[in-house]
């Protein structure tokens, strides 16, 4: 596979998407191919049937390969699911010598200390995100490197998940004949695809409504502040329509997409849809008002749960206010009048997020649908990883050559701090290699 290509694999509850992208000369991402298959072995973001998941992955990858006319080797995979939770944690280290300036090693030491937190059985820390630092009691420091101080402390946003679920995803990818290039948290991937830097600075909540789960990521001052996964999504709405109208799932899904609305007041009492009966039975007549009421009840429940999380973060405090409001994305965000309902419940400005922030201008309209936000975000993440690896390879070459002395006299070499997801990817890879 070419160097400047990346493949995102979004293993969702309702669909699996494989997307191939590359950077063009303007730094925007061109999508070369996309493949999509029905997801059969995943429930609420967690793999519960390995064989079916492998088949669905292979189908999506094959479709992407055909549409881009190339072979796929490695993929960047997203992890989400109901087992993901997050917590806030503060920690500190005392430095042996406060005469020296704080460097990367001190920060690594502090982060590694957070990794020693005791978790529930089977859980592991996936992500440790420093929020802000304090040096000798002086707060609100964004970047402590280069400062003097004896005590370095920080507030952390810690994301925790079931390690077996993550390994299962790695297993499915490997058994599909693909190599695991990287693992990313899906709410972060979606955020990269649909949010602008200004929104992340001002404060914004991204709500990604998928089939099985609803993911939330909150940003403020350009840093991720809170993440949560709510174990409900579009599928529960379909389930409710199926039960409430006594129809089969396929019909319920079509009804939701074609006629569904989150706002019951929109429909007149006499608007009726006729649904063909099964095997020659009488057709069923369903009023659209009734349909909206069923959808409304469930959507309100989902949004209220998300709003509880936004309040937990502290949105009601003046200092933590999310000025840019809410951005809705994911397949579920295409429900009619959802934006108005979210604004009504939360009182926050809301927009629908399309993943066109980083895409080339001539991208296909289908690709810029909120449905593909996570997949686009995973492609972006894969490209970023490649650039980092290239940079590291060049630095290693340079340091190995005779140019070292010249370079050292100009500026000290910058040590790249590896993200925890890179380390997690390696751990999962090692585990899978040794488990064979």
What pLDDT is stored for residue 363 in this prediction? 78
Measured CA to CA, the distance from residue 234 to residue 242 in angstroms comes to 13
pLDDT class for 126, splitting at 50, 70, 90? confident
Phi, psi values for residue 184, rounded to 5° = -135, 150
Higher pLDDT: 1 or 322? It is: 322
pLDDT class for 127, splitting at 50, 70, 90? confident
18 in Cβ contact with 66 (< 8 Å)? no
- E strand or H helix at 218: strand 214-220
What pLDDT is stored for residue 151 in this prediction? 93
For residue 345, what are its two tokens?
A: 């419940």
Angle between helices 186-194 and 373-400 (to 10 degrees): 90
Diameter over CA atoms, the chain: 86
Q: Is the pLDDT of residue 403 over 60?
A: no
Query: How many C-beta atoms surround the C-beta of residue 171 within 10 A?
Result: 19
Measured CA to CA, the distance from residue 420 to residue 424 in angstroms comes to 6
For residue 139, what are its two tokens?
A: 């707060």
Q: Where do the DSSP E strands lie in 222-371?
A: 223-230, 272-275, 284-287, 326-329, 350-352
Domain architecture of the chain: domains with CATH: 196-353 (3.30.420.40)
pLDDT per residue as tens digits for the range 46-101: 899 999 999 999 999 999 999 999 999 999 999 887 888 888 899 999 999 888 99
Higher pLDDT: 194 or 266? It is: 194
Helix (H, G, I), strand (E, B) or coil at 336: strand
78 in Cβ contact with 9 (< 8 Å)? yes
359 in Cβ contact with 369 (< 8 Å)? no
310 in Cβ contact with 322 (< 8 Å)? yes
Phi, psi values for residue 15, rounded to 5° = -145, 155
Measured CA to CA, the distance from residue 224 to residue 127 in angstroms comes to 11
Q: Is the pLDDT of residue 299 over 60?
A: yes
What pLDDT is stored for residue 314 in this prediction? 86
Could you tell me how many residues make up the chain? 436
48 in Cβ contact with 166 (< 8 Å)? no
- Strand partners of residue 220: 223
What pLDDT is stored for residue 402 in this prediction? 55
What does the CA dihedral 330, 331, 332, 337 come to, rounded to 10 degrees? 100
DSSP string, 350-379: EEE--TTSSB-TT--TTTTSGGGHHHHHHH
């Amino acid at each position: 596979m070419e160097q400047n290509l990346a493949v995102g694999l979004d293993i969702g509850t309702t669909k699996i998407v494989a997307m191939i992208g590359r950077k063009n000369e303007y730094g925007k991402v061109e999508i070369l191919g996309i493949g999509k298959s029905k997801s059969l072995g995943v429930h609420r973001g967690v793999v519960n049937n390995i064989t079916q998941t492998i088949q669905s992955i292979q189908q999506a990858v094959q479709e992407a390969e055909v549409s881009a006319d190339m072979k796929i080797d490695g993929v960047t995979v997203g992890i989400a699911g109901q087992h993901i939770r997050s917590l806030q944690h503060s920690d500190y280290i005392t430095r042996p010598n406060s005469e020296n300036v704080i460097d990367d090693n001190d920060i690594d030491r502090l982060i590694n200390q957070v990794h020693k937190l005791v978790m529930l059985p089977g859980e592991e820390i996936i992500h440790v995100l420093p929020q802000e630092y304090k040096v000798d009691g002086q707060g609100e420091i964004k970047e402590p490197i280069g400062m003097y101080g004896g005590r370095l402390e920080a507030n952390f946003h810690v994301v925790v998940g079931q390690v077996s679920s993550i390994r299962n995803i790695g297993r499915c990818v490997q058994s599909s004949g693909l190599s695991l290039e990287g693992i990313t948290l899906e709410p972060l991937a979606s955020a990269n695809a649909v949010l602008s830097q200004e929104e992340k600075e001002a404060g914004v909540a991204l709500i990604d409504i998928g089939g099985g789960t609803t993911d939330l990521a909150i940003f403020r001052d350009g840093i991720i502040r809170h993440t949560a996964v709510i174990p409900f999504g579009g599928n529960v709405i379909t389930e409710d329509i199926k039960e409430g109208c006594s129809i089969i799932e396929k019909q319920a899904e079509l009804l939701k997409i074609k006629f569904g609305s989150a706002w019951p007041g929109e429909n007149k009492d006499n608007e009726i849809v006729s649904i063909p009966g099964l095997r020659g039975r009488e057709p069923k007549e369903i009023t659209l008002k009734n349909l909206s009421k069923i959808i409304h009840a469930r959507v309100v429940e989902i949004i209220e749960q998300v709003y509880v999380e936004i309040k937990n973060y502290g949105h009601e405090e003046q200092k933590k206010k999310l000025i840019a409001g809410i951005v809705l994305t994911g397949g579920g965000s295409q429900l009619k009048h959802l934006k108005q309902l979210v604004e009504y419940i939360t009182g926050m400005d809301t927009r629908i997020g399309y993943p066109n922030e980083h895409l080339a201008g001539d991208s296909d309209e289908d690709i810029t649908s909120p449905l593909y936000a996570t997949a686009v975000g995973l492609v972006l993440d894969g490209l970023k990883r490649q650039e980092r690896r290239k940079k590291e390879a060049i630095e290693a070459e340079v340091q190995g050559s005779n140019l070292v002395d010249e370079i050292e006299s100009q500026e000290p070499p910058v040590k790249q701090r590896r993200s925890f997801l890179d380390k997690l990817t390696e751990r999962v890879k090692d585990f899978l290699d040794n488990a064979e």
